[in-house]
C-alpha cells in the first residue's frame, strides 16, 4: 500500500480535524453551561492576531516545538519520557549559571552554554536510562520521580548561587553579559517585539529529527525497536544500547527547550521562569503524531490558543483557563480519533483485498467454467 495514497492522506487529516471539531463543541457546551458568552469567546480566540501577538505565537511555538521533539524521540522508540520538564529545568539552570559567568565572549558563550544545557539535561535523563537498562525500572515511574528530584536539586543549587537586586523580591542567577544576549529577529513586520533568534535552533532540530530518524541506519534501528523489540533483537539491534542512546538524546533535546527564552527574553534563571513546558510537549508530540511537520503545526496551534486566550479575561471576562479545557479535549479527541481511523483504515483495506480476491476468484472461475 502506497504511503501517500489519497485515502491515507485523507484519513490522516481527518483525525486532527475531527478532534478540533469535538473540542469546539464540548468547549461551547461548557461555556453555555456556565452562562458565559460563547460567541464572544470564540471571536476572541479566533481573531486575527496583531503583529505583536504573532511574534508571541511564533516564540511560544518555538519552545513547544523543542519540547515536543524531545518527547517524540522517546515515543518513536516506545519510551515514554515524562521527564522532559525536569530535564528542561536542569538544562536551563546549568546553562544560565554557565553563561552568567561570562567566561567566553559573545556568541561563543551562547553556543557553549547550549552544549552545557544539552549535557546536563542528557545526563539527568541518563539516570532514568541507566535504571531502565540495568534495573528494569519503568522510565515512566523514574522520570516522574526525577522531575520532583530535579525541582529539589535545582532549588537547592539555586539558593547557593541566587542573588537579588536591592528592593526586589525576585531572586535570580547572574544575568548573562549583554554581548551574549540575543536581541531577536525582525521577522514580523509592524511588531515592536522580536522573534527569538534561537527559532533557528527549532528549525535545525526539526530537520535533524527528520533526517536521523527517517534516513539513517540508527533511525531505522530506533524505530524498529519501538515497533517490536523482539524483532529488533533478532535483526541484531543492541536494544539496551538503543534505550540508553534514545533516552539521553531525548534528554539532551529537552535541554534545548529553555534556550530561546534564556537568551532572548529572561537573560537569567529566576524564580519567575516558566514551568510545565515538558508536559505541553507530551500533548503536542501526540497531536503531531511524532512527525516533524505535524509537531510544528501542533506547536503553532497550541501557541495560538495560549496567546489568543490572553485577551479573554480583559475582553470578554472569561477565565483564560478555558484554554486548558480546549487543549485537553483536543488531546483526548485526537487519540480516540486516531484509533477510530486506524480501525476504519484496516476495515477499508480488508474490504479492498476481499474485493480484489473476489474479483480474481470470479475471473478465474469464469475462465475455468468457460466451455472449451
Partner 1 sequence: MRHTMKVAAVVSVAALTLAACGDSGSDKPSSSGSSSSSSSSKKSDIKVGMAYDVGGRGDQSFNDSAAAGLDKAKSELGVQIKEAAAVNGENEAAREERLQQLIDAGYTHVVAVGFAYAASVGKAAKDNPDVHFAIVDDASPDSKGANVDQITFAENEGSFLVGAAAALKSKAGHIGFVGGVNVPLIKKFEAGYIAGAKAVNPNIKVDSQYLTQPPDFGGFGDPAKGKTAAEGMYQGGADIVYHAAGGSGGGVFTAAKAAGKLAIGVDSDQALTAPADVRPVIMTSMIKKVDVAVYDFIKSAADGKELTGNNVYDLKAGGVDYATTGGQVDDIKTKLDDYKQQIIDGKIKVPTTP
Residues near partner 1, by CB under 8 A: 31, 34-36, 52-53, 56, 59-60, 71, 75, 78, 80, 82, 89, 140, 151-152, 155, 158, 164-171, 192, 226-227, 261, 265-266, 271-276, 279-280, 282-283, 285-286, 306-307, 310-311, 313-315, 317-322, 324-325, 327-328, 331-332, 334-335, 338-339, 342
Please say whether the beta carbons of 232 and 97 come within 8 A: no
Please say whether the beta carbons of 273 and 266 come within 8 A: yes
Task: Give min distance, CB of 156 to partner 1, in A.
Answer: 9
Task: Give min distance, CB of 71 to partner 1, in A.
Answer: 8
Task: Give min distance, CB of 76 to partner 1, in A.
Answer: 9
Q: Is the dihedral of CA 156, 162, 168, 170 positive or negative?
A: negative
Instruction: Rank residues 152 and 369 by Cβ distance to partner 1 and give the closer one.
Output: 152
Instruction: Rank residues 165 and 367 by Cβ distance to partner 1 and give the closer one.
Output: 165
d(CA 107, CA 342) in angstroms, rounded, equals 48
Residue 90 CB partners (closer than 8 Å, separation 6+): 120, 121, 124, 150, 153, 154, 255
Q: What is the dihedral of CA 299, 301, 307, 311, to 10 degrees?
A: -170
Count, residues in the chain: 372
Residue 332's H or E segment, with its range, is: helix 322-369
Q: Is the dihedral of CA 294, 297, 300, 304 positive or negative?
A: negative
Instruction: Rank residues 6 and 160 by Cβ distance to partner 1 and give the closer one.
Output: 160
Residue 269 CB partners (closer than 8 Å, separation 6+): 92, 93, 96, 97, 158, 172, 173, 262
Instruction: Rank residues 168 and 364 by Cβ distance to partner 1 and give the closer one.
Output: 168
Task: Give min distance, CB of 2 to partner 1, in A.
Answer: 22
- Of residues 86, 108, 87, 90, the one with CA closest to residue 99: 108
Instruction: Rank residues 183 and 356 by Cβ distance to partner 1 and give the closer one.
Output: 183
Task: Give min distance, CB of 208 to partner 1, in A.
Answer: 22
d(CA 18, CA 316) in angstroms, rounded, equals 27
SS3 content of the chain, % helix, strand, coil (to 5): 75, 0, 25
Instruction: Rank residues 106 and 317 by Cβ distance to partner 1 and give the closer one.
Output: 317
d(CA 41, CA 270) in angstroms, rounded, equals 34
Instruction: Rank residues 313 and 360 by Cβ distance to partner 1 and give the closer one.
Output: 313
Instruction: Rank residues 104 and 228 by Cβ distance to partner 1 and give the closer one.
Output: 228
Task: Give min distance, CB of 279 to partner 1, in A.
Answer: 4
Instruction: Rank residues 75 and 304 by Cβ distance to partner 1 and give the closer one.
Output: 75
Task: Give min distance, CB of 268 to partner 1, in A.
Answer: 11
- How many C-beta atoms lie closer than 10 Å to residue 245's C-beta? 17
Please say whether the beta carbons of 357 and 339 come within 8 A: no
Amino acid at each position: 500500500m502506497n504511503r501517500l495514497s489519497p485515502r491515507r492522506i485523507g484519513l490522516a487529516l481527518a483525525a486532527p480535524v475531527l478532534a478540533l471539531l469535538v473540542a469546539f463543541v464540548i468547549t461551547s457546551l461548557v461555556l453555555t453551561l456556565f452562562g458565559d458568552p460563547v460567541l464572544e469567546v470564540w471571536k476572541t480566540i479566533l481573531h486575527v492576531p496583531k503583529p505583536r501577538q504573532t511574534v508571541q505565537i511564533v516564540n511560544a511555538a518555538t519552545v513547544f516545538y523543542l519540547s515536543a521533539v524531545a518527547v517524540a524521540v522517546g515515543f518513536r522508540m516506545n519510551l515514554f519520557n515524562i521527564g522532559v520538564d525536569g530535564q528542561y529545568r536542569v538544562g536551563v539552570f546549568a546553562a544560565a549559571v554557565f553563561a552568567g559567568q561570562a567566561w567566553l565572549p559573545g556568541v561563543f558563550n551562547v553556543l557553549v552554554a547550549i552544549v552545557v544545557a544539552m549535557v546536563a539535561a542528557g545526563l539527568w535523563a541518563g539516570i532514568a536510562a541507566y535504571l531502565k537498562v540495568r534495573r528494569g525500572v519503568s522510565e515512566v515511574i523514574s522520570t516522574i520521580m526525577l522531575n520532583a528530584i530535579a525541582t529539589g536539586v535545582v532549588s537547592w543549587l539555586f539558593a547557593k548561587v541566587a542573588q537579588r537586586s536591592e528592593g526586589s523580591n525576585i531572586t535570580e542567577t547572574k544575568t548573562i553579559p549583554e554581548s551574549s544576549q540575543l536581541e531577536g529577529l525582525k521577522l514580523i513586520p509592524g511588531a515592536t517585539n522580536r522573534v527569538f533568534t534561537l527559532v533557528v535552533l527549532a528549525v535545525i532540530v526539526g530537520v535533524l529529527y527528520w533526517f536521523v530518524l527517517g534516513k539513517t541506519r540508527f533511525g531505522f534501528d530506533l524505530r524498529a525497536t519501538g515497533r517490536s523489540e523482539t524483532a529488533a533483537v533478532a535483526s541484531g539491534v543492541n536494544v539496551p544500547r538503543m534505550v540508553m542512546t534514545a533516552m539521553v538524546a531525548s534528554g539532551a533535546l529537552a535541554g534545548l527547550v529553555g534556550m530561546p527564552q534564556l537568551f532572548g527574553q529572561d537573560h537569567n534563571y529566576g524564580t519567575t521562569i516558566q514551568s510545565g513546558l515538558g508536559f505541553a510537549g507530551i500533548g503536542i508530540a501526540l497531536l503531531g503524531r511524532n512527525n516533524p511537520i505535524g509537531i510544528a503545526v501542533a506547536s503553532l496551534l497550541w501557541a495560538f490558543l495560549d496567546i489568543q486566550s490572553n485577551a479573554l479575561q480583559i475582553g470578554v471576562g472569561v477565565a483564560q483557563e478555558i484554554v486548558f479545557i480546549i487543549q485537553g479535549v483536543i488531546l483526548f479527541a485526537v487519540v480516540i480519533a486516531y484509533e477510530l481511523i486506524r480501525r476504519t483504515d484496516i476495515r477499508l483495506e480488508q474490504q479492498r483485498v476481499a474485493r480484489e480476491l473476489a474479483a480474481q476468484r470470479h475471473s478465474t472461475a469464469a475462465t475455468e467454467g468457460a466451455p472449451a
